[in-house]
Every structure is written in structure tokens, then in C-alpha cells.
Chains A and B, each alone.
Chain A
Amino acid sequence: MTVKPIKKLVKYNKAETRTAWLCLLPSVIGLVCITYLPMIASFALSLFNWDGLGEMQYKGLHNYVKLFTSDTKFYSSLWVTLKYSFMSVTLSIVYSMMIALLLNRKIPARSFFRAIFYLPYVLPAMAVYLGWKWLYDFNHGFLNYIVRLLGFAPVKFLDSSTLVTPSLAFIAVWLSGNLIVIFLAGLQNVPRTYHEAAEIDGANAWQRFWKITIPCMTPIIFYNLLMSLVSNLQVITPALSLTKGGPGTGSYYMCFMLYQQAFKSHKYGYGSAVAVVLFILIAIFTAILFATSKGWIFYEGDDKE
């Protein structure tokens, strides 16, 4: 413990710096070559019109102007992306927290149940969506078969522009096994002594959940929130493999729009502009999350740095 202050006097230890850069060398190469250089290229591309095969034409901010002023699909895309992210993030956080709480009890066959809830996550995503197609289908899907049996009109799960996003978000919740495992780990780290002390003080289970479990879990909730927000704002697989962006713009998520514009319509400049906007959007959300995190994340004293 006494070593620390001494080390702080030495500005940066040479050997330490050298080791750090050696350790980070692969990551830095990756960040520069695989992420940031191509990213700059694609930012630059957004200032051009380019169909991939022909000449590039410099257009300044034309693509952005078009995106924000005359492309009606862009705003729908923005809206459904936010809607999808909001639904799948909140629902999957609540769902996985609930499952984790249940799995955290002393119940028989715990690892079996854990495997069941984790299983959807380890299966190939494309394949999983194909399976869901057969459940959601309007004409021969299983869910609508049940609906019809109950005497109702069949539901357009994927065939209505308002229902498609909730339906896809439901699949995202189903897929959130990784969140469950991380929550479970966190729950098992909540010190039992806190609960016991609170119980002696007469707190009931509900109070203990809100006053102890949740505060102790905030760092993990934050982590899961961030990860699932970032990945859900970049949603594309369900649109690619199930709905093709439709009906109308019902699942025309921004990543899908980027894919469609750049790779299918060969409007690479325009697609890059969408990518830039998406990037900024995600950055804003991440920044908000980080900014507010200080207010609601509870750090145990010994883990604070």
C-alpha cells in the first residue's frame, strides 16, 4: 500500500510504458487499420456520389441535405430504429433481470435452466430468424393458428408496419441469454451480509430488492444497458433475414438502410452518409448514458478507483 504514492511521483515508468505499448500494439494496429482509417474513408465517401463502378463526383454536403430534407424514408428509418432499440433494450433488460433473479434462487437443475435460457443466444442468428418466420407467418404460422383457434382474426405479426417492430423486438428479448448470464454473475456478487442486515432491520423482500439488489447491480445494469443499446441501434439481421425492411418502412432500420443504399442500390456515398448519421446517433446515446451514469451507479467502496 505504501508503494503507490512513490510510484505516482515517478511520472511514467519507462518499462511500464514500453510493456503497455507492446501489449496494445495489436489493438492499436486494429484500431487504426481496421476501424479508423476505413472509417475516415467512408466519412470522406459521404461527400461524393459514387455508384461503385463509375467516377466519383464530389457533391459536398449534398447527401446530408438530401437525407434530412427530401428523403421521407430516412425519418421513418430513424423512428423505427429508436422504437426497436427502446423496446428491445428495456424489455430484454427487464426480462433477463427477472430470469436471473429466478435462477439465483436455490432451485434444482439450475444449470439446466441456465442452459435453456442461454441457448437461443448461441444459435446462429440467421437460422434462428428463419425459425421464427414459421411461428409468425400470417397464413401458416403457429401463433396465428392459436389465435384463430381462439376465435380471433389472425394477427399481422410481421405484415403490418406497426406490429413488425414489436414482433422483432420480442425475438431480441428471446435472444438475450448473454444478458442473463452477466446479471446472474452480478447477483451472486451482491454481498449476502447486506441482505441479512436489512432483514434484521425489518425490510421485506420488495424493499430489499429495491434498496439493496438494484443499487448493488447498477454497474452491471449499466454495462448491459450500454452493450445492448449499442448493438440494438445497429440492428440489421432481422430485417435482412425476415422482413427486408418492410412492410413499408416498418423495419427499415438505419443499418438496413445503409446496407440497402450502399450495397443493393449501389449508392455508396449516400449509404456512407447514413452511416455517419448512425454513428453520431449512437455516440450521442452513449455519451448521455455515460454522463448520467455517475448519478445512478452505485460503486462499492473497495471497487472505486
Chain B
Amino acid sequence: MIFAFNNSSRLASRRKREKAANFLSMAVLVVLGAIVMFPIYWIFRSSLMSNGELYAYPPAFTPPNWRFSNYRDTLEVFEYWKFLGNTMTILVPSVIGAVITATMGGYAFARLRFRGKKILFMLCVGSMLLPSMVTLIPLFVVWAKIGLVNTYWPLILPHFCGGGAFNIFLIRQFVKTVPRELDEAATIDGCGYFRILVYIIMPAIKSAMIVVGLLKFIELWNDLLQQVTYITRRDQYTLALGLNIFKGSFNDDWSSIMCATCLSFIPGIVFYLIGQKYFVEGIVMTGMKN
């Protein structure tokens, strides 16, 4: 009796404390969230102002005149849909390629036993340590010799080669969390290694694959240096390159840059919203133990 009483009073006080703590966390999150969102709001606000208003002192907290026409003007010169289409032409195959080949690589490193695995894995991790711009010129020369500069091939094909060490590493970590009993059962049923990968492993690490896709997406989205190097025809411009056209030879049109910036946010956000269900819940399910 005493035991039960003790327990329930402890439970009640614990509930109370938990409630207070939850309230406090909520308050902290609201404040921090507002701080985190503020820079994004600031960019959005700037996109609705004229160049003169942008430089005025004191800075306006909300646009003095909500110049939504900025967007219309920007869209006249910023060929958003075309640039978006071009970006997707590079991104979609690259992301798919990276996800597939990274999954294959990660699977091999996590599950299969073969000679040279250790050293290969070390080489793989080692390649993360190298800034990618170091390899820009040698690679460019090779692509140019093959005659593929000014096509999207140099921007797409490399991602069919493992999708980067980081992603292989990530997939490897995830595959390790899939219980070995599952593949062993499949082996007994007569499945080969490839079938295990496709029917057992891939469904189990679907979420990790989505994470790789998102990371690749963001990486490519931000990779101006490669795009500048390989694309010089206006009709092939991507969004990242397109943002540059407001930086003229003599002057920068800030409000247009801000508009174009806001427009370029949209695909990333959409991708996040689509992916978030999978990858957040997904990671939770599998965890990321070493």
C-alpha cells in the first residue's frame, strides 16, 4: 500500500515538473525560432523594397511600400522557370545517380567481405578531406579534351560514381543497423547478394537514401564553382548562375537579387517538405549507431 501511494505521488509530481519543463522548452523554442527565422524574414522584406529604401537609415522593419511588383520585374529578366528546368535537368539525374551508387557502395562496405575492403574504405574516407576545388582544373582539362564542356555531362556523370564519400559513409552506417538475421533468412531462401540489397536492405534504409538525396540536392544547389566552369551558354544557365545576372559588370541591382534569392528558396523548401516525413521519421526508426 505504502509502495503504491509513494509511487503515484511521485508520478504526479513528476508529471507536474514535466509540464513545467515542457512549457519552458516551448517558450525557449519560440524565442529561438523567431531569431532563426528573422534573417529569412529580412531577406524577404528586402525583396519588397527599392534600392533606395534598402540603403535608407534607419532601416525599415517592414517594407515602406510593399513592392510586389519587384517580383514581376525580376521575373521579366530572371527566366525562373527555364533556369529551374535546367537546374532540375542536372539535379534529378545526379541525385538519383548518387543515391543508387552510394547505396551500392555503402552496402558493400557494411555487409560484404572481400579482400582490400579496409584500405578501400580508408581511401574513401580520405577523399572527404580534400576540398573539391583542388580537382577542378585537372578534371576540367579532361572533360574539355573529351569535348563535353558546355554540356551537362561533367556536372551529372561524377555523381554516378558513388555520390561522394560522405554519402557512402552515411549509407554504410545505416546498413549496419539493419539486423543481419534478415539477410541470413533471405540467403537461406536462395536470394543472391543483389536481391538482398534490393529487397531487404533498400526498403529498410529508404529514409537514409532520402537523406542522401536531400544532402546531394543541397550540395549541387550550392555548387556555383562547377556550374560556372562548365556552362557558358545562356540557354543552359541554372538558377545559381542565373542569380549572377543581376551582378552586372558595373552595378548590382540589390532588390532584384533579393527577389531572385527568395524565388530560389522555393525548390529547396518544397523538397524539404516532401522529404521531411520520410527522413525525419526514418532516421528515428533506424538510428545512426556506429
| A touching B, CB within 8 angstroms | yes
Cβ–Cβ contact B108 & A20, under 8 A: yes
Q: In the complex, which residues 275-300 of chain A have their Cβ closer than 8 Å to any Cβ of chain B?
A: 275, 278-279, 282-283, 286, 297, 299-300
* Closest-CB distance, A78 to chain B (whole angstroms): 15
| Residue A30 lies at the interface, judged by CB distance under 8 Å to chain B | yes
Cβ–Cβ contact A282 & B193, under 8 A: no
* Closest-CB distance, A121 to chain B (whole angstroms): 7
Q: Contacting B135 at CB < 8 Å: which of A12, A34, A128, A134?
A: A34
A111–B284 Cα distance when bound, in Å, is 13
Q: In the complex, which residues 238-280 of chain B have their Cβ closer than 8 Å to any Cβ of chain A?
A: 239-240, 243, 257-258, 261, 264-265, 268-269, 271-273, 276, 279-280
CB contacts (< 8 Å) of B161 on chain A: these are 26-27, 29-31, 33-34
CB contacts (< 8 Å) of A123 on chain B: these are 40, 265, 268-269
Q: Which residue of A lies closest to B244 (CB)?
A: A126
Cβ–Cβ contact B134 & A258, under 8 A: yes
Known contacts A113-B29, A115-B272, A119-B269: A30-B162 contact under CB 8 Å: yes
| Residue A120 lies at the interface, judged by CB distance under 8 Å to chain B | yes
| Residue B148 lies at the interface, judged by CB distance under 8 Å to chain A | no
Cβ–Cβ contact B33 & A117, under 8 A: yes
Q: Contacting B192 at CB < 8 Å: which of A15, A124, A230?
A: A15
Q: Contacting B25 at CB < 8 Å: which of A12, A102, A297?
A: A102
Cβ–Cβ contact B36 & A135, under 8 A: no
A30–B130 Cα distance when bound, in Å, is 14
| Residue A259 lies at the interface, judged by CB distance under 8 Å to chain B | yes
Q: Contacting B33 at CB < 8 Å: which of A30, A116, A125, A278?
A: A116
Most chain-B Cβ atoms within 10 A of its Cβ — which of A26, A107, A142? A26
CB contacts (< 8 Å) of B184 on chain A: these are 3
CB contacts (< 8 Å) of B272 on chain A: these are 115, 118-119, 122
Q: In the complex, which residues 102-153 of chain B have their Cβ closer than 8 Å to any Cβ of chain A?
A: 102, 104-105, 107-109, 112-115, 117, 120, 123-131, 133-135, 137-139
* Closest-CB distance, B263 to chain A (whole angstroms): 10
| Residue A24 lies at the interface, judged by CB distance under 8 Å to chain B | yes
Q: Which residue of B lies closest to A302 (CB)?
A: B289
Cβ–Cβ contact B129 & A27, under 8 A: no
Cβ–Cβ contact B222 & A19, under 8 A: no
Known contacts A117-B36, A140-B55, A189-B284: A230-B131 contact under CB 8 Å: no
Known contacts A119-B40, A120-B36: A23-B112 contact under CB 8 Å: yes
Cβ–Cβ contact A140 & B56, under 8 A: yes
| Residue B32 lies at the interface, judged by CB distance under 8 Å to chain A | yes
| Residue B37 lies at the interface, judged by CB distance under 8 Å to chain A | yes
Cβ–Cβ contact A38 & B290, under 8 A: no
Q: Which residue of B lies closest to A189 (CB)?
A: B287
Q: Which residue of B lies closest to A8 (CB)?
A: B113
A305–B101 Cα distance when bound, in Å, is 25
* Closest-CB distance, A243 to chain B (whole angstroms): 16
Known contacts A30-B162, A119-B272, A268-B137: A19-B43 contact under CB 8 Å: no
Q: In the complex, which residues 1-56 of chain A have their Cβ closer than 8 Å to any Cβ of chain B?
A: 3, 12-13, 15-17, 19-21, 23-24, 26-31, 33-39, 41-42
CB contacts (< 8 Å) of B117 on chain A: these are 20
CB contacts (< 8 Å) of B138 on chain A: these are 37-38, 41-42
CB contacts (< 8 Å) of A255 on chain B: these are 131, 133
A121–B217 Cα distance when bound, in Å, is 12
Cβ–Cβ contact B108 & A125, under 8 A: no
A16–B115 Cα distance when bound, in Å, is 10
CB contacts (< 8 Å) of A263 on chain B: these are 133
| Residue A79 lies at the interface, judged by CB distance under 8 Å to chain B | no
Cβ–Cβ contact B108 & A23, under 8 A: yes
CB contacts (< 8 Å) of B134 on chain A: these are 38-39, 42, 258, 272, 275, 279
Q: Contacting B240 at CB < 8 Å: which of A105, A124, A268?
A: A124
* Closest-CB distance, B111 to chain A (whole angstroms): 9
What are 15 A-B residue pairs whose CB atoms fall within 8 Å in the complex?
A19-B193, A23-B112, A28-B120, A116-B36, A116-B37, A117-B33, A120-B36, A125-B222, A130-B257, A131-B46, A134-B42, A145-B57, A184-B280, A219-B288, A297-B290
